[in-house]
Amino acid sequence: METSDISNAIASAIASPTVVRAVGSGTWLHGGPVENDATATVVKPRGGVIEYTPGDLVISVHAGTTLEELSATCAVSGQMLAIAPYGSPRSTIGAVVATATAAPLAYDDLAIRDLVLGLTVVTGTGDIVRVGGKVVKNVAGFDLVRLNTGAFGTLGVITEVNLRLHAKPSMDHVVTGTLDGSPWDWVPRLIANRAPLPMLVRLAPDEPAQLFARCTGNGARASALRGIMQSYGVRNAFTVGPSDTSSAHEQVPMIAALRHVPDHALVLRIRTELSGGDAMLEHVRKLLPDATLLYNPSRGSVRVVTDPGHEDDVLVEQIETQFGRTPVHYSLVAEQGAPPRHDTSHVHAPIKRAFDPHGVLNRRRATFTPKPYVR
Amino acid sequence: MRDALLATLSAIVGPRWVKSRAPELVAYDADGLPGYRALPNLAVFPGTQSEVVAVVKALAAAGVSFVPRGAGTGLSGGALANDVVLLGLNRLTQILRVDPVNRIAVVEPGVVNAKLSRAVAPYGLQYAPDPSSQSVCTIGGNVAENAGGPHCLKYGVTLNHVVECLVVLPDGRFIRAGSAFGESDEYDVLGLFVGSEGCFGVATEITVRLVPLPDSVHTMLADFPSVNAAARAVSRIVATGIVPAALEMMDNATIRAVEASIYAAGYPTDAAAVLLCEVDGIADGLDEDVAIIRECCMESGARNVLVASTEADRVRLWQGRKKAFGAMGRIAPSLVVQDAVVPRTRLPDVLETIHEIATRYGVQVCNVFHAGDGNLHPNIPYDANDADASARVHAAMSEIMLACIAAGGTITGEHGVGLDKLPYMESLFTAESLSAMCTIRDVFDPDRRANPGKVVPVHSCKEWHRGGNRA
Ligand SMILES: Cc1cc2nc3c(=O)[nH]c(=O)nc-3n(C[C@H](O)[C@H](O)[C@H](O)COP(=O)(O)OP(=O)(O)OC[C@H]3O[C@@H](n4cnc5c(N)ncnc54)[C@H](O)[C@@H]3O)c2cc1C
Ligand SMILES: Cc1cc2nc3c(=O)[nH]c(=O)nc-3n(C[C@H](O)[C@H](O)[C@H](O)COP(=O)(O)OP(=O)(O)OC[C@H]3O[C@@H](n4cnc5c(N)ncnc54)[C@H](O)[C@@H]3O)c2cc1C
């Protein structure tokens, strides 16, 4: 749908009254009352490139453009969007922005928040709002770009996205190997990392911990980074990413597998201070011996992928009470736009009301109820 | 009314820290924007976070507007307080906590940027954003402006380095925006607050991210016979996939100003433009990067590329750049430091347009800017007391800003809108977009008492239209 169609759809929804639900490729629509509302009007922004000037390393696309299409377009000019989020390459950029989904092995540890320059958003009043710009630095006016990033479509439907791209470095490898011993041994070494080395540890039941690191730069730097990675005690290291300049990591099965979650899995994301990473891994492992843990040492975050037999709020409570360490932040990727667990409601509710006064857009859940990640 | 407020505020912070007499207030009648003066009604300087809260509550109770102020180095007039209360934060200078393992520091808003970096250097860490005013500007001011600096090309702007803020809303309530350890599923209120120019409330405690000091740094100076050639080199360098720590351009007028000053850095005065380029990080691979960058410059037409061989050389090369604004002070008593951004590929033609505009108005433009980001700083030295010169400077700047917008750019990359750039907001954004900005401002400050009249032209707000229509 075009931006103006979406604006009209929202205007009709206000009049009817009914609700509107933004959809990308629909790869992650579980959870949340809006989806279950059979009367919702579905609005699906169109895809396609609007403007791309490789010399500026900036691209403007319609929100329905998939990550696959986006990387294929940029690759022709030796450029890339510096994220590699969990989920499917069929995900749309609009949804990636709306969910601010994190990336396990993003180039230079960048997040989508760092890469969105401007947005066109249709608010809950049907207004078409263009915020930010098309240049890599802009601070003109209040930052509604950041506000809509990660808002799960509750403040507006994103229809156009301006993105900052990066030129591909001459080498871009993902190197993997195993780590011996318990997290007590290797976590402190990983967090003390001083090199620009995005890393991810995969801890599957009954398997040794496996470290992935994205080693980029010119030849000398990429191999030095590989050496640094091995100095953490990594054994049997080998390159899984493309060893030439193509850096099409999406196509590498082992990395695709990292980003994929089995059907009917429950995904929890947990974050603690960097120095609490080892204790947290140990704790979650004891609580959920069958879960697969994906640990990012530079952000102190863990994705816990487990089966949906667990009730997620019970799990969170168990983790919270038994871990007993503060500050720890929990949130559930199992849910769309879970309500804030901390008391900031006196700002959050008015923000929602300001942009969606009729309550027609994706809603935040009113209560914290279990909702497994089921595909 | 004023006397009652004076008494209330004095009771909170002590009489010494409330200024009410004109001679005392004159010290705060301007910030870094020349040609604008505004006398505050009162100025109050709380010494602790709880005093800030008490002051804000007292102002709320009295229904009085206020303008937060850090060091007053802002270049867009954001800290000007015209007949309202100026809330000075420069007594809140404590670095409350440095946590080197978790790589964060918790600071009060009045901490001076460079002081923070010095304080964390012994841990092998730095606070990366480095505005050229870093020796005086405050972290609170940096947060409010989303300040940048030469090294933001690689390291990112203030937003990328602030993880949490304790904010006193204009009604005296607190919010905690962001989370020091959070990957939040809440609205990105921190992202919204950073760069809100004091219009949403006062940052009283700021948690910043620290990054490791690089193991090794190489600094280069390339000199070019034309601005075009320098701009070509910038594009080539960026296209290689190398992300330089900094990539700064200075034109001939700037070079000559620097070389004629006490900050002389040995720049070639006959060059049309120089590029100051730095690469840093782990030592391995930096020599290769230097070689590639040299090649990019030479292929684009550089006459020479100098690589600083000692730390002293490096510091000298940077001194010229960081003190360029000061050096321009020798040319004339006042200096407009403008801030606009254009797509990198448009740099050559926009620079040409700027030159043409300057010639037409008979003013001298010195360009010194963050070329890697396309973030221009066209600066005009002039005499603000000369009405004719001021008018010409003003007209030339307006045309320059509109030319940047026409080229697909924006009116500020790091200095904010403040008061100075209000008139351009309507050229940049649609009425609906500006109205959305008013909407969000109202969430934080429905009475519009925090830094009133800045950032978004009030008549852009829908409610204003409605009110206007009714009247
Ligand atoms: C292993 C795994 C881990 C994941 N981890 C995370 C995580 O940590 N955090 C996280 O947020 N997500 C996570 N995801 C989900 C990820 O966000 C989605 O896979 C992807 O973004 C969905 O793309 P889509 O186009 O299919 O969106 P859809 O499934 O169509 O929509 C997803 C959500 O985005 C909203 N939306 C879609 N398009 C728009 C738009 N244009 N404007 C406004 N709202 C819109 C929808 O209403 C819906 O709420 C994870 C997924 C997997 C498989
Ligand atoms: C020579 C020179 C060079 C400069 N170079 C750069 C540069 O390279 N990059 C760059 O980005 N800027 C630069 N600047 C501009 C300026 O230094 C920055 O904008 C800086 O962030 C302002 O900080 P300050 O403490 O002086 O704030 P002030 O000027 O006092 O205030 C600026 C704004 O912040 C608000 N504010 C201040 N403190 C708070 C707080 N605690 N809470 C809420 N709002 C607050 C004020 O209301 C005002 O709107 C330069 C200025 C000069 C004079």
Q: State the smallest CA–CA distance between residue A99 and chain B in angstroms.
A: 9
pTM of the model: 0.94
Does A221 sit within 8 Å of B183, measured CB to CB?
no
CA of A336 to the centre of ligand 1 (A): 8
At residue A321 the predicted structure's pLDDT band, cuts being 50, 70 and 90, is low
Q: Which amino acid is at A311?
A: E
CA A208 from chain centre, in angstroms, equals: 26
pLDDT of residue A108: 87
CA of A91 to the centre of ligand 1 (A): 7
For residue B284, what is the DSSP state? T
Q: Which domains does chain B have, with CATH numbers?
A: 2-88 (3.30.43.10), 98-212 (3.30.465.10), 214-331 (3.30.70.2190), 332-418 (3.30.70.2740), 422-466 (no CATH)
At A96-119, the pLDDT tens digits run 999 888 778 888 889 999 999 999
Question: Higher confidence at residue B470 or residue A18?
Answer: A18
Which of B284, B289, B300 would you mutate first to test chain A, the one with the most A CBs within 10 A?
A: B284
Q: Residue B160 is nearest to which of A114, A140, A166, comparing CB atoms? A: A114
Q: State the smallest CA–CA distance between residue A95 and chain B in angstroms.
A: 14
**Residue B371 burial (CB count, 10 A):** 29
Question: Quick check: A243 pLDDT over 60?
Answer: no
Backbone angles phi, psi at B265, to 5 degrees: -115, 5
Using left for φ > 0, alpha for ψ between -120 and 50, and beta otherwise, residue A300 falls in left
At A37-56, the pLDDT tens digits run 667 889 999 999 999 999 99
Which ligand 1 atom minimizes the distance to the CA of A99? 11
ipTM, 2 dp: 0.95
Does B413 sit within 8 Å of A138, measured CB to CB?
yes
Of B291, B253, B287, the residue nearest B273 (C-alpha): B253
Strand (E) or helix (H) holding B337 = strand B334-337
Q: Dmax over Cα atoms in chain A, in whole Å?
A: 63
Highest mean pLDDT among A292-301, B27-36, B67-76: B67-76
Q: Residue A140 is nearest to which of B238, B411, B441, comparing CB atoms? A: B411
Q: Radius of gyration of chain A from Cα atoms?
A: 21
Q: Which domains does chain A have, with CATH numbers?
A: 3-168+349-355 (3.30.465.10), 169-243 (3.30.70), 265-336 (3.30.70.920)
At residue A349 the predicted structure's pLDDT band, cuts being 50, 70 and 90, is confident
Cα separation, B115 vs B134, in Å, equals 9
At residue A140 the predicted structure's pLDDT band, cuts being 50, 70 and 90, is very high
Structural tokens at position B252: 């001939």
Question: Quick check: A31 pLDDT over 70?
Answer: no
Question: Quick check: A30 pLDDT over 80?
Answer: no
Non-local (6+) Cβ contacts of B3 within 8 A are: none
Cα separation, B264 vs B91, in Å, equals 34
Which ligand 2 atom minimizes the distance to the CA of B413? 11
Structural tokens at position B157: 């702007």
Q: Radius of gyration of chain B from Cα atoms?
A: 23
pLDDT of residue B1: 79
Does A100 sit within 8 Å of B182, measured CB to CB?
no
Q: Which residues pair with B379 in a beta bridge?
A: B337, B366
Mean pLDDT value across residues B164-177: 93
Backbone angles phi, psi at B271, to 5 degrees: -80, 140
> Which ligand is nearest to the Cα of residue B414, counting in written order?
2
- Side-by-side strand order, sheet with B66-69: B18-19, B42-44, B85-88, B66-69
Residues of chain B with C-beta less than 8 angstroms from the C-beta of A342? 176, 179, 186
Q: Dmax over Cα atoms in chain B, in whole Å?
A: 70
Mean pLDDT value across residues B264-282: 96
pLDDT of residue A363: 64
CA B423 from chain centre, in angstroms, equals: 19
Question: Higher confidence at residue B186 or residue B219?
Answer: B219
Pinpoint the alpha helices (H) of B16-104: 22-25, 49-62
User: Chain A residue closest to B234 (CA)?
Assistant: A55
Query: Is the separation of the CB atoms in A89 and A66 below 8 Å?
Result: yes
User: Chain A residue closest to B344 (CA)?
Assistant: A56
Number of residue pairs across A and B with CB atoms under 8 Å? 247
Highest mean pLDDT among A252-256, B182-186, B292-296: B292-296
Cα separation, B144 vs B153, in Å, equals 20
Peptide bond before residue A89 is cis, with ω within 30 degrees of 0: no
Question: Quick check: A269 pLDDT over 90?
Answer: no
Above pLDDT 90, what percent of chain B? 91
Question: Quick check: B54 pLDDT over 80?
Answer: yes
Question: Quick check: A372 pLDDT over 50?
Answer: no
pLDDT of residue B262: 93
Residues of chain B with C-beta less than 8 angstroms from the C-beta of A158? none
Please give the full DSSP string across B173-205, using - where no structure is assigned.
Answer: -EEEEE-TT----S--HHHHHTT-TTSS-EEEE
Average pLDDT, chain A: 83
Strand (E) or helix (H) holding B97 = strand B95-99
Q: What is the 3-state secondary structure (H, E, C) of A273-302?
A: CHHHHHHHHHHHHHHCCCCEEEEECCCCEE
CA of B127 to the centre of ligand 1 (A): 33
Using DSSP, state whether B18 is helix, strand or coil.
strand
Looking at A45-54, A188-197, B208-217, which range is the least confident one? A188-197
Query: Is the separation of the CB atoms in B250 and B362 below 8 Å?
Result: no
CA of B193 to the centre of ligand 2 (A): 15
- Side-by-side strand order, sheet with B104-107: B95-99, B104-107, B202-209, B162-168, B174-178
pLDDT of residue B155: 94
Q: Which residues pair with A116 in a beta bridge?
A: A163
Query: Is the separation of the CB atoms in B305 and B298 below 8 Å?
Result: yes
Average pLDDT, chain B: 94
Q: Could you tell me what percentage of chain A is helix, strand and coil, using 3-state DSSP and rounding each to the nearest 5?
A: 30, 25, 45
Q: Is the torsion defined by CA of A116, A118, A123, A126 positive or negative?
A: negative
**Residue A365 burial (CB count, 10 A):** 16
Q: Could you tell me what percentage of chain B is helix, strand and coil, using 3-state DSSP and rounding each to the nearest 5?
A: 40, 20, 40
DSSP strand E in chain A: where?
20-22, 41-43, 49-53, 58-62, 79-80, 116-123, 128-132, 156-164, 166-167, 171-179, 199-203, 209-217, 234-239, 266-272, 292-296, 301-306, 328-332
Using DSSP, state whether A52 is helix, strand or coil.
strand
Does B195 sit within 8 Å of A139, measured CB to CB?
yes
CA of A162 to the centre of ligand 1 (A): 18
At B324-349, the pLDDT tens digits run 999 998 889 999 999 999 999 999 99
Axis-axis angle for helices A183-191, A277-287 (nearest 10): 140
Mean pLDDT value across residues B261-268: 95
Cα separation, B111 vs B113, in Å, equals 6
Of A257, A242, A121, A116, the residue nearest A175 (C-alpha): A242
Question: Quick check: B382 pLDDT over 70?
Answer: yes
Beta-sheet pairing, B66-69 with B85-88: parallel
Question: Quick check: A262 pLDDT over 90?
Answer: no
Structural tokens at position A23: 């959809």
Residue list, ligand 1 pocket, CB within 6 Å: A 21-29, 45, 63, 86-88, 91-92, 94-96, 98-102, 152-153, 157-158, 261, 267, 269, 333, 336, 362
Axis-axis angle for helices A345-355, B431-444 (nearest 10): 160
Cα separation, B381 vs A222, in Å, equals 46
Q: Residue B285 is nearest to which of A221, A331, A344, comparing CB atoms? A: A221
pLDDT of residue A37: 60
Query: Is the separation of the CB atoms in B73 and B94 below 8 Å?
Result: no
Of B328, B304, B151, B134, the residue nearest B230 (C-alpha): B304
Query: Is the separation of the CB atoms in B337 and B373 below 8 Å?
Result: no
Question: Quick check: A1 pLDDT over 80?
Answer: yes
CA end-to-end span of chain A:
25
Question: Quick check: B405 pLDDT over 50?
Answer: yes
Pinpoint the alpha helices (H) of B215-346: 227-239, 252-259, 286-299, 311-322, 324-328
Does B152 sit within 8 Å of A329, measured CB to CB?
no
Cα separation, A137 vs B149, in Å, equals 11
CA count, 13 A, side-chain hemisphere, B375? 26
At residue A263 the predicted structure's pLDDT band, cuts being 50, 70 and 90, is low
Query: Is the separation of the CB atoms in B393 and B386 below 8 Å?
Result: no
CA A92 from chain centre, in angstroms, equals: 12
Structural tokens at position A375: 């595909």
Cα separation, A218 vs B240, in Å, equals 10
Question: Quick check: A371 pLDDT over 50?
Answer: no
Residues of chain B with C-beta less than 8 angstroms from the C-beta of A114? 156, 160
Pinpoint the alpha helices (H) of B146-285: 152-155, 189-193, 227-239, 252-259
